[in-house]
């Protein structure tokens, strides 16, 4: 098959840039990378056919420079630009600049991005086509009009407390404030508006009811130039902290075929009304009553797209390129959509980052000293790093995505535990302790504890770190004495030690078993907590 383009530019970095470049190469297209000074020797630069420097390390002077990226595309002879996720991927001004330069933007059109990027406009669209949205206001709050304070307070009371002040532009929790009583609302509006203006260049905010507990479930859409929109399936992204996703899976556990069809139909209705062409994701909250509430639309490729790819049997990035080239939805995409309500397998993704889960997931940039990734059936690693690479502080601290695919959720969990046992990342603190703990958590393993607020209300990183350090110190003391503990302790919570750390492990060349203490020390040392 003739590739849709001969040369494409990837306006991103890290694992997603590598992912897109590989898809382009498989389709017979050349790929051009862009880079900042911090990424001059990065993997995405090395695997590309050509690379263009954008500027200094700061994103504002490199990856967020629309003029430099468009110039790089024109000078390199690229015919299309893929934005990846983050950075400029949902900036309508960027998509429009690409279009105005006579290039193809690999994603929804600038008009669609503008319409859906404004959350208030998206909420109004959902309202107009009968898709239930989270209760709240449909117009910006008059933050700069003190005479409207009484009306704002009345609107807040109508929405109900607790509620959220949310930015109309952007996402990721920026500009968001939780309000539990009416007297907190004025200050929250001002603070949220200021942060939104500083982050997104738009200070518009609105009110939205806080629905808790709830699950975060999103639907992957594809649309073509003929107006046909299909759903490839849904993902559960409920395991988050401060509105940042940590674990994603497809399909959403516990949903039956009827609920899936209803959810997919609502997402398709929204995508069709927005004139969607290419890829987008419609996000919903799923409450305890079984109701779906529309949240927003992300008119771009999502970080967690691999889990849908594995279950659907479809390369979403390659489909994006074909759609951008004017092709209709492929037979493979249509077939995947036909079986989306009856998924035949399961996949889960862990976002492993250079963050310290004992300190509220604070970024922990640095240089990787050891790098051992898992392998075997059903295991996929999306990354752009290897031993010796530096994780720069200027960008998102994502290290890699561990994605596992199997026949069902139980098999996925077993495969994930095995894969986590094989990972070794040295030199930087990682989120591995958190992921090990989550897989040992009964509520997560049984899919009964899924909620957007579970991590914030239950995860005690400081306590887990202290327990791991104690275990490692004891293991070190026993090793110094040449002894092993006779039995594994029974008073360590499951949320502290992974499953492998509770199993006796036979050491090569040594009689007997290594105790759970010693295994815990090994795991702790790999995860970087014990010092």
Exposed, middle or buried by CB within 10 Å (0-12, 13-18, 19+), for 63?
A: buried
**Structure-block tokens of residue 202:** 């738009």
State the DSSP H helix or E strand holding residue 370, giving kind and residue range, or none if neither: strand 370-372
Q: pLDDT confidence of 406, banded at 50, 70, 90?
A: very high
Rounded CA gap, 520 and 531, in Å? 14
Q: pLDDT confidence of 519, banded at 50, 70, 90?
A: low
Exposed, middle or buried by CB within 10 Å (0-12, 13-18, 19+), for 525?
A: middle
Maximum distance among all Cα pairs of the chain, rounded to whole angstroms? 80
What integer pLDDT is reported at residue 484 of this predicted model?
55
Q: In angstroms, how far is the first alpha carbon of the chain from the final one?
A: 55
The pLDDT of residue 490 is above 50: no
Q: Cβ of 435: how many Cβ atoms within 10 Å?
A: 24
pLDDT digits (tens, 9 = 90+) for 22-55: 999 999 999 999 999 999 999 999 999 999 999 9
Average pLDDT, the chain: 90
**Structure-block tokens of residue 439:** 């897989």
Rounded CA gap, 349 and 402, in Å? 6
What is the torsion angle, in degrees rounded to the nearest 10, for the CA atoms of residue 363, residue 300, residue 80 and residue 228?
160
pLDDT digits (tens, 9 = 90+) for 308-355: 999 999 999 999 999 999 999 999 999 999 999 999 999 999 999 999
Q: What is the pTM of this model?
A: 0.90
Q: Can you list the domains of the chain with their CATH numbers?
A: 7-106 (3.40.50.20), 135-209 (3.30.1490.20), 461-527 (no CATH)
Q: pLDDT confidence of 469, banded at 50, 70, 90?
A: confident
What integer pLDDT is reported at residue 79 of this predicted model?
98
The pLDDT of residue 492 is above 60: no
The pLDDT of residue 531 is above 70: no
One DSSP character per residue, 207-264 reads: EEE---SEEEEEEEEEE-TTS-EEEEEEEEEEEEETTEEEEEEES-TT--HHHHHHHH
What integer pLDDT is reported at residue 516 of this predicted model?
54
Rounded CA gap, 432 and 429, in Å? 9
Angstrom distances, CA of residue 58 to CA of 68, 171, 177, 270:
14, 21, 27, 36
Rounded CA gap, 333 and 313, in Å? 9
Helical segments of 28-148, H only: 43-47, 66-76, 92-100, 110-117, 119-128
Lowest mean pLDDT among 3-12, 150-159, 164-173, 205-214: 164-173
pLDDT digits (tens, 9 = 90+) for 375-399: 999 999 999 999 999 999 999 999 9
């Amino acid at each position: 098959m003739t590739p849709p383009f001969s040369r494409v530019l990837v306006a991103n970095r890290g694992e997603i840039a590598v992912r897109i470049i590989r898809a382009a190469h498989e389709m017979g297209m050349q790929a051009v990378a862009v880079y900042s000074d911090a990424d001059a020797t990065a993997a995405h630069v090395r695997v590309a056919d050509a690379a263009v420097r954008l500027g200094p390390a700061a994103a504002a002077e490199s990856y967020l420079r629309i003029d430099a990226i468009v110039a790089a595309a024109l000078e390199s002879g690229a015919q299309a630009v893929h934005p990846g996720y983050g950075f400029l991927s949902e900036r309508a001004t960027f998509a429009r600049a690409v279009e105005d330069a006579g290039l193809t933007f690999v994603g929804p059109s600038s008009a669609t991005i503008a319409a859906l990027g404004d959350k208030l406009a998206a909420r109004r669209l959902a309202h107009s086509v009968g898709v239930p949205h989270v209760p709240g206001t449909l117009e910006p709050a008059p933050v700069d009009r003190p005479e409207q304070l009484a009306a704002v307070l009345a609107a807040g009371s109508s929405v109900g407390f607790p509620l959220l002040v949310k930015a109309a532009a952007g996402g990721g929790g920026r500009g968001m404030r939780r309000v539990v009583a009416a007297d907190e609302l004025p200050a929250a509006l001002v603070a949220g508006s200021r942060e939104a203006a500083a982050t997104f260049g738009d200070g518009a905010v609105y009110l939205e009811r806080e629905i808790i507990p709830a699950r975060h479930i999103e639907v992957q859409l594809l649309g073509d130039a003929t107006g046909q929109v299909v759903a490839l399936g849904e993902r559960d992204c409920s395991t988050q902290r401060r509105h940042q996703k940590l674990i994603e899976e497809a399909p959403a556990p516990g949903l039956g075929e009827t609920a899936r069809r209803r959810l997919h139909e609502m997402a398709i209705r929204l995508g069709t009304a927005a004139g969607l062409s290419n890829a987008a994701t419609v996000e919903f909250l799923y409450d305890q009553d079984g109701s779906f509430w529309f949240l927003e639309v992300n008119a771009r490729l999502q970080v967690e797209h691999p889990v849908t790819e594995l279950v659907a049997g479809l390369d979403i990035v390659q489909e994006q390129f074909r759609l951008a080239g004017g092709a209709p939805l492929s037979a493979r995409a249509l077939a995947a959509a036909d079986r989306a309500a009856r998924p035949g397998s399961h996949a889960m993704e862990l976002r492993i980052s250079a963050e310290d889960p004992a300190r509220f997931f604070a970024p922990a940039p640095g240089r990787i000293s050891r790098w051992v990734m898992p392998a075997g059936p059903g295991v996929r690693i999306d990354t752009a790093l290897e031993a010796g690479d530096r994780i720069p502080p200027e960008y998102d601290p994502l290290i890699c995505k561990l994605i596992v695919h199997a026949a069902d959720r139980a098999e996925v969990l077993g495969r994930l535990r095995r894969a986590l046992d094989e990972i070794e990342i040295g030199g930087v603190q990682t989120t591995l302790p958190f992921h090990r703990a989550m897989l040992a958590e009964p509520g997560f393993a049984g899919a009964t504890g899924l909620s957007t607020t579970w991590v914030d209300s239950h995860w005690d990183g400081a306590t887990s770190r202290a327990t791991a350090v104690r275990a490692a110190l004891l293991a070190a003391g026993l090793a110094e004495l040449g002894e092993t503990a006779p039995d594994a302790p029974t008073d360590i919570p499951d949320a502290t030690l992974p499953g492998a750390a509770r199993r006796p492990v036979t050491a090569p060349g040594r009689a007997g078993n290594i105790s759970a203490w010693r295994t815990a020390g090994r795991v702790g040392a790999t995860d970087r907590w014990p010092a």
